[in-house]
């Protein structure tokens, strides 16, 4: 009996031999596992290398800074002591040197000095005598070199070399400072001794441990001697000689360094050094690299490996579990599909369950869509089978001729009705083009072209054409050919032909009638259009197109709503626009009758953007193809004239009020018997004059009204010489005082002008009358008549010039306004219409009026009339 | 006798008014609003007969102007005008006139209107 799990593993192993048959789950897990392990290995090896370097560099930095701090502190200690010695030298004089008790007393006065040097303070005289405080036994020093250097004046102060002093039985080093007399001569040396074996100021730093196995050292690099160390046993230890150990040589050579190397015991260490400048010694920090790299070694131990193993196991279990859960919908779907395939009838009614909306969910959804499409297709297939059956019956039994051709028009099949109608047998027609035997003399070649064109581009067509039966009988047929579209490729046509011969005959006669009527409407100068029962524009006449500046085809068959929008766009005010599309077409109209709309007579006024005003009218009717007729009237002119009339009437009525006031007022006064005889006479005079003024005003008003209303065509125009008329006019012109003289200057060979001579006389008369009114009595009036070039045209000029009161530029600017009088308060009577009348007359003759005037100097009015033959001469010039 | 100032650009009208009311009042004349403004300082009238349609400053504007000056606030003003529309008359009275007479006018009516306005109590 085998152990079950083992059996399972074995089974898995067997499966793994054929990788392709492995389950998706296993594949994913294997891939994840492999990448995880690979990543872990890469990470560790990479980390080891990098971390090693990083830690080393970090440790080196730490060491260097430690060395720097310690060296600085020690240097400070040396400085304090050297300064203290230098100060202390000032206490001792030459006189004191021969009296040791005095010196001893002086040293005892400064207990601080004693604490700075643990082996005491001494004075060494030039002859070598040593003086110290009383408590101390006097012994010579082994380091005579330092003392001598000071006594001989080689150095002011000095830190001596440490040495194992046999006299003092201890490792010592001295700090020596010279004592000078007043002349600056060295008379003795003050010596501070430090015992390295006792607790001393250097120990404060070096007695500390650096890390677990690291240590501090102070080395006199000149003598390769350890001055102080964490390990007290190493004090005064001689370092190996030069070139023995590279690491030691290196740090002894520089002021500050940090490097890795083997130390004197053959252990790899990281060492950093820093010079203590005052002592000339090196401060050294050293730490075995084994201690530095301890954390990296820890990475390799068994505990870490175990952790990794557990993590891998956990990962396998987790991913197996989650994958299993993820794949549940898939396996379920596969099972469902398997069950369905056993029972295909239910296949289309169901769909697979979607558990989650992840990738698998999307896959199942897509699958469901596929199933649905498949189901729909099957349903369509069975439906179209039925359809085909029915279609076949239709094609067989219809009286219309049905044919199927290939994409080039060759007959593939015809229905019995086709055979019966044309008289050709099916066998005859098969493989032939229908046109080749059906078309004849009266067949419209343009229609044939349309059909050929459509076939060439694989498009359908819908035409009416003349064809011939086998018997030679002519008939009209309506062909609807529809391309059979298979896989976006035209694979032929189905054509249905119906006999429309009788319809055509009826149509031909109505069309003639229709054309006549349309010609009638086309010639209508009023814009109009017709609306079909479908509320579409079915007809539009040229006048409409002209008014709205649009082409007929742009308007034809658009809906009435669009028509309203189109017209609205052309209007200025659209707020009150009444759309005809909103007005229902009357339904109770008898056939062939019309009903005019309520506002038909007045119409609805539209103000167009081009300044025109038009009235819109519409009539509803019950005529085939026409339900409503809309037509428009251009009433711009009428509206303008109406406006002018009412303005004119208002102003005229106002103007009449002034003379009326006078007449009314004075008559009432007379009636009441006011005033004496003279005054009464005066009043009557005023009444008479004012009545006269009123008559003049009324006449002028009538003239203006008449001239303005009169069309140019109504003038009695005649091409003539106007010289003789003007001569007569000048001679017979009579004024109230008859004192002024008219000087008429007629040029020779005056050209003829086409004028209504009565009107021109009136204009000239008005000019003369003005000239009189505004001239001082007896002032001359000049009238010149000559041919001139004016605005590039030959003109006849009649200029009337007076030397009277003239006008200011402001007055001149308003001179053509109706009822404008330059000097209304003055005594000169007038209506203010004279110039308006002159201008109207000149306008009607295609001429013009110009006025030049200078205040208090006079006025010159120039009337220009176009010369009768000027146009023909222009034409001659152009032609040559 | 009370004083009346007639302001009208038309000499004939001024004369008619002078003839109509000259027996009962002292009548002075001005031919424009500017002319009238100058006269007001020398000789303050009790009543002004003012034409509306005049060249330069028109009567209506001048009336509004006069009404803003405290020292002339007690002068009565009657507008005489050819403007006869209802809204034109209302506008005239709103400008601060005490009366409004339309052209053509009857001298009798003018007299009675002047009397009425002069006897009107200031509330």
- pLDDT > 90: what percent of chain A? 4
**Average pLDDT over every residue of A473-477:** 89
10 Å CB burial of residue A164 (0-12, 13-18, 19+) is: middle
* Whole-number pLDDT of residue A347: 58
Give yes or no for a contact between A386 and A417, defined as CB atoms under 8 angstroms apart: no
- Domains present along chain A, CATH in parentheses: 92-195 (3.30.450.20), 344-379 (no CATH), 398-505 (3.30.450.20), 524-632 (3.30.450), 640-707 (1.10.287.130), 713-876 (3.30.565.10)
Contact B10/A at CB under 8 A? yes
Q: H/E/C letters for each residue in A142-195?
A: CCHHHHHHHHCCCCCEEECCCEEECCCCEEEEEEEEEEECCCCCEEEEEEEEEE
Provide the pLDDT confidence category of residue A663 given band limits of 50, 70 and 90: very high
**Average pLDDT over every residue of A842-860:** 88
Provide the pLDDT confidence category of residue A225 given band limits of 50, 70 and 90: confident
- pLDDT > 70: what percent of chain B? 98
**pLDDT at A831 > cutoff 80:** no
Which of chain A's residues have a Cβ under 8 Å away from the Cβ of B9?
Answer: 824-825
Q: Which residues of A810-823 are buried (b: 16+ CB within 10 A; e: fewer)?
A: eebeebeebbebbe
Residue whose token pair is 């098969």? A430
**pLDDT at A122 > cutoff 50:** yes
Name the residue facing B9 among A662, A686, A825 (closest C-beta). A825
**Average pLDDT over every residue of B59-78:** 87
Q: pLDDT digits over A615-640, tens only? A: 888 888 888 788 888 888 888 888 87
Across the interface, whether the CB atoms of B11 and A825 are under 8 A apart is answered: yes
* Whole-number pLDDT of residue A146: 85
Provide the pLDDT confidence category of residue A90 given band limits of 50, 70 and 90: confident
Give residue ranges of A with CB < 8 Å to any B CB. 654, 657-658, 660-666, 668-669, 672, 674-675, 679, 683, 686, 690, 824-825, 827
The pair of three-digit structure tokens given for residue A768, joined into one six-digit string: 């003369």
Contact B31/A at CB under 8 A? yes
Provide the pLDDT confidence category of residue A484 given band limits of 50, 70 and 90: confident
The pair of three-digit structure tokens given for residue A70, joined into one six-digit string: 């310690």
* Whole-number pLDDT of residue A330: 82
pTM: 0.38
Q: pLDDT digits over A837-848, tens only? A: 888 888 888 889
Residue to mutate among A654, A661, A663, with most B CBs inside 10 A, is A661
Across the interface, whether the CB atoms of A658 and B19 are under 8 A apart is answered: no
Angstroms from B106 CA to nearest CA on chain A: 5
* Whole-number pLDDT of residue A539: 87
Which of chain B's residues have a Cβ under 8 Å away from the Cβ of A683?
Answer: 19
Identify the DSSP state of A856: T
Across the interface, whether the CB atoms of A674 and B12 are under 8 A apart is answered: no
CA-based nearest residue in chain A for residue B80: A661
* Whole-number pLDDT of residue A872: 46
SS3 at position A819: coil
Across the interface, whether the CB atoms of A690 and B10 are under 8 A apart is answered: no
Higher-confidence residue of A210 and A663: namely A663
**Average pLDDT over every residue of A318-345:** 81
Q: Which residues of A246-261 are buried (b: 16+ CB within 10 A; e: fewer)?
A: ebbbebbeeeebbeeb
Identify the DSSP state of A232: G
10 Å CB burial of residue A829 (0-12, 13-18, 19+) is: middle
**pLDDT at B25 > cutoff 80:** yes
Name the residue facing A668 among B11, B83, B106 (closest C-beta). B106
**Average pLDDT over every residue of A256-285:** 85
Angstroms from A665 CA to nearest CA on chain B: 5
Across the interface, whether the CB atoms of A660 and B104 are under 8 A apart is answered: yes
**pLDDT at A880 > cutoff 50:** no
The pair of three-digit structure tokens given for residue A802, joined into one six-digit string: 């007076």
Q: pLDDT digits over B73-117, tens only? A: 889 999 998 888 888 899 999 998 999 999 889 999 999 999 999
Across the interface, whether the CB atoms of B107 and A668 are under 8 A apart is answered: yes
The pair of three-digit structure tokens given for residue A826, joined into one six-digit string: 């003055």
- Chain B 55-74, residues with CB within 8 Å of chain A CB atoms: 55
Which of chain B's residues have a Cβ under 8 Å away from the Cβ of A824?
Answer: 9-10, 55
CA-based nearest residue in chain B for residue A822: B55
Provide the pLDDT confidence category of residue A41 given band limits of 50, 70 and 90: confident
Across the interface, whether the CB atoms of B104 and A664 are under 8 A apart is answered: yes
Which of chain B's residues have a Cβ under 8 Å away from the Cβ of A664?
Answer: 104-106
Name the residue facing A824 among B9, B15, B19 (closest C-beta). B9
Which of chain B's residues have a Cβ under 8 Å away from the Cβ of A654?
Answer: 82-83
d(CA A131, CA A748): 160
CA-based nearest residue in chain A for residue B10: A825
**pLDDT at A464 > cutoff 70:** yes
Identify whether B104 is preceded by a cis peptide bond (ω within 30 of 0).
Answer: yes
Across the interface, whether the CB atoms of B105 and A665 are under 8 A apart is answered: yes
pLDDT mean across residues, chain A: 82
Contact B24/A at CB under 8 A? no
Provide the pLDDT confidence category of residue A711 given band limits of 50, 70 and 90: low
* Whole-number pLDDT of residue A785: 92
Name the residue among A793, A783, A792 with its Cα closest to residue A868.
A793
**pLDDT at A81 > cutoff 80:** yes
Domain boundaries, chain B: 3-119
CATH of B3-119, one of 3.40.50.2300, 1.10.3720.10, 3.40.50.720, 3.40.640.10: 3.40.50.2300
**pLDDT at A879 > cutoff 50:** no
Identify the DSSP state of A583: S
Q: pLDDT digits over A133-143, tens only? A: 766 777 888 78
Give yes or no for a contact between A158 and A149, defined as CB atoms under 8 angstroms apart: yes
Name the residue facing A668 among B31, B103, B108 (closest C-beta). B108
Measured between alpha carbons, how far apart are the two ends of chain A, in Å?
A: 133
Q: pLDDT digits over A549-575, tens only? A: 889 888 888 998 999 889 888 888 878
Which of chain B's residues have a Cβ under 8 Å away from the Cβ of A660?
Answer: 103-104
């Amino acid at each position: 009996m085998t152990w079950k799990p083992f059996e399972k593993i074995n089974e898995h192993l067997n499966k793994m031999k054929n990788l392709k048959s492995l389950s998706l789950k296993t594949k994913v897990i294997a891939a994840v596992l492999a990448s995880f392990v690979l990543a872990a290995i890469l990470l560790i090896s990479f980390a080891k290398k990098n971390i090693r370097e990083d830690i080393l560099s970090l440790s080196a930095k730490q060491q260097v800074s430690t060395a720097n701090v310690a060296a600085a502190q020690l240097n400070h200690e040396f400085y304090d002591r050297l300064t203290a010695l230098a100060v202390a030298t000032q206490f001792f004089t030459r006189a004191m040197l021969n009296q040791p008790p005095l010196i001893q007393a002086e040293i005892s006065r400064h207990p601080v000095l004693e604490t700075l040097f643990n082996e005491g303070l001494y004075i060494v005289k030039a002859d070598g005598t040593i003086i110290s405080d009383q408590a101390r036994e006097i012994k010579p020093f082994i380091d005579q070199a330092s003392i001598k250097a000071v006594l001989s004046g080689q150095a002011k102060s000095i830190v001596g070399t440490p040495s194992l002093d046999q006299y003092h039985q201890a490792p010592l080093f001295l700090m020596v400072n010279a004592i000078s007399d007043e002349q600056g001569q060295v008379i003795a040396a003050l010596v501070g001794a430090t015992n390295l074996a006792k607790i001393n100021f250097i120990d404060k730093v070096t007695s500390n441990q650096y890390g677990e196995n690291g240590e501090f050292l102070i080395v006199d690099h000149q003598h390769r001697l350890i001055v102080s160390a964490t390990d007290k046993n190493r004090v005064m230890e001689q370092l190996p000689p030069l070139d023995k150990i590279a690491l030691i040589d290196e740090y002894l050579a520089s002021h500050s360094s940090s490097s890795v190397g083997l130390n004197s015991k053959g252990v790899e260490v990281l060492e950093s050094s820093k010079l203590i400048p005052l002592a000339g010694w090196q401060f050294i920090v050293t730490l075995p690299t084994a201690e530095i790299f301890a954390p990296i070694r820890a990475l390799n131990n068994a505990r870490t490996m175990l952790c990794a193993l557990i993590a891998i196991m956990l990962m396998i279990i987790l991913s197996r579990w989650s994958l299993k859960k993820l794949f549940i919908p898939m396996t379920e779907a596969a099972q469902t599909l398997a069950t369905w395939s056993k029972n295909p009838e239910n296949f289309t009614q169901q769909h697979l369950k979607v558990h989650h909306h992840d990738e698998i969910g999307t896959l199942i959804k897509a699958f469901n869509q596929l199933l649905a499409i498949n189901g729909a297709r099957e349903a369509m297939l069975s439906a179209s089978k039925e359809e085909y059956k029915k279609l076949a019956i239709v094609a067989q039994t219809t009286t219309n001729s049905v044919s199927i051709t290939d994409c080039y028009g060759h007959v593939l099949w015809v229905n019995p009705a086709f055979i019966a109608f044309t008289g050709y047998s099916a066998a005859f027609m098969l493989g032939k083009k229908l046109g080749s035997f059906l078309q004849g003399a009266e067949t419209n070649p343009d229609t044939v072209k349309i059909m050929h064109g459509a076939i060439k581009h694989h498009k359908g067509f819908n035409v009416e054409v003349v064809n011939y039966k086998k018997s030679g009988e002519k008939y009209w047929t309506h062909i609807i050919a529809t391309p059979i579209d298979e896989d976006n490729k035209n694979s032929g046509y189905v054509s249905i032909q119906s006999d429309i011969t009788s319809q055509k005959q009826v149509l031909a006669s109505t069309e003639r009638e229709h054309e006549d009527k349309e010609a009638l409407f086309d010639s209508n100068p009023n814009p109009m259009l017709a609306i079909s029962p479908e509320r579409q524009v079915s007809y539009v006449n040229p006048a409409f197109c002209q008014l709205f500046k649009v082409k007929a085809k742009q308007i034809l068959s658009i809906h009435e709503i669009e028509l309203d929008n189109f017209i609205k766009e052309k209007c200025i005010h659209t707020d009150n626009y009444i759309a005809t599309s909103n007005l229902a077409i009357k339904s109770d109209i008898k056939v062939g009758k019309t009903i005019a709309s309520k506002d038909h007579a007045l119409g609805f006024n539209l103000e167009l953007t081009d300044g025109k005003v038009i009235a819109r009218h519409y009539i509803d009717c019950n005529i085939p193809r026409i339900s409503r007729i809309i037509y428009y009237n251009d009433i711009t002119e009428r509206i303008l004239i109406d406006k002018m009339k009412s303005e004119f009437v208002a102003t005229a009525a106002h103007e009449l009020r002034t003379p009326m006031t006078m007449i009314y007022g004075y008559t009432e006064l007379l009636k009441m018997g006011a005033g004496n005889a003279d005054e009464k006479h005066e009043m009557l005079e005023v009444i008479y004059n004012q009545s006269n003024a009123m008559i003049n005003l009324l006449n002028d008003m009538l003239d203006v009204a008449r001239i303005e209303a009169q069309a140019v065509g109504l003038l009695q125009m005649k091409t003539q010489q106007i010289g003789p008329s003007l001569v007569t006019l000048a001679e017979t012109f009579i004024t109230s005082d008859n004192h002024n003289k008219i000087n008429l200057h007629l040029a020779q060979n005056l050209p003829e002008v086409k004028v209504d001579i009565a009107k021109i006389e009136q204009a000239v008369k008005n000019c003369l009358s003005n000239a009189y009114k505004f001239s001082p009595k007896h002032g001359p009036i000049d009238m010149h008549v000559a041919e001139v070039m004016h605005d590039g045209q030959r003109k006849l000029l009649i200029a009337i010039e007076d030397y009277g009161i003239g006008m200011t530029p402001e007055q001149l600017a308003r001179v053509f306004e109706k009822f404008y009088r330059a000097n209304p308060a003055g005594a000169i009577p007038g209506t203010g219409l004279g110039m308006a009348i002159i201008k109207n007359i000149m306008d009607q003759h295609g001429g013009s009026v110009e006025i030049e005037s200078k205040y208090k100097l006079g006025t010159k009015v120039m009337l220009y009339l176009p010369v009768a033959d000027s146009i023909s001469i222009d034409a001659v010039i152009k032609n040559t | 006798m009370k004083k009346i100032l007639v302001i009208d650009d038309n000499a004939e009208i001024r004369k008619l008014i002078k003839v109509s009311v000259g027996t009962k009042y002292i009548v002075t004349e001005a031919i424009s609003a500017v002319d009238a403004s100058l006269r007001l300082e020398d000789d303050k009238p009790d009543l002004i007969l003012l034409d509306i349609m005049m060249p330069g400053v028109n009567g209506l504007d001048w009336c509004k102007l006069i009404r803003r000056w405290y020292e002339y606030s007690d002068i009565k003003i009657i507008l005489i005008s050819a403007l006869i529309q209802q809204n034109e008359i209302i506008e005239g009275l709103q400008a601060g006139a005490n009366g409004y007479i339309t052209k053509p006018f009857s001298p009798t009516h003018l007299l009675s209107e002047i009397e009425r306005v002069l006897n009107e109590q200031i509330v």
